[in-house]
Amino acid sequence: MKTGNKIALFYTAITIGIISMVTVVFYFVATDYISRLYYSYLTEKAYATAQKHWEKDELDEEDYARIQQHYEETLPVAAEILLNADSIAEAHSVLSRYLTDEKIASLYAGNVVRFHEGKELGAAVYYPDNEGNFIVLVVSSNQYGGDIQHRIGWPLLGMPSWSISSAVCMRPAWSTVSMRLTRVRSLLSAMHLMN
């Protein structure tokens, strides 16, 4: 293989490698953003659910109507599980289906816990109230986010293979360019010798 072809293949390989790395990084950043955004929707739904169920006795009708409206504007397709945190055995039996013991302890410490169960994502919040302590779990599948991830993923996976196939198809053109450059060099050197 001639030096020109080696150089062209080397730089093509570097370009394809850079494109592939950028593609992979973009895909992971995008999917992480989609998941974090959906978890924030689930958390918002959990707090709205808790307020809807346990704040009615503490608020006037206008404030409660705002809470009700906010609840209706949150994630519409989600399963809600309401637990009495003071009934530790009962709450633990339900929570253990979704959470590890460490996450359950973190939840009882007042932290928002995010989890996934199969294809479903979930958020759990600990909600202390004057009526008692409660836990709200909200579980939903992120169908729209999954569709976006697939729509981003397949073209991004195809991009490096397209780059490789176009580089392979361009190889005959490199040979032609290399041959023509050799002719131009010989003509230039012949002209230089004439002067």
Cα 107 to Cα 165: distance, rounded to the nearest angstrom: 51
User: For 6-59, how does the pLDDT look when each residue is reduced to its tens digit (9 = 90+)?
Assistant: 887 888 888 888 888 888 888 889 889 988 999 999 999 999 999 998 888 888
Task: Match 């955004």 to its residue by tokens.
Answer: 37
pLDDT, tens digit, 9 for 90 and up, residues 174-183: 556 566 667 7
pLDDT range class, residue 76, cuts 50, 70, 90: confident
0.75 exceeded by the pTM?
Answer: no
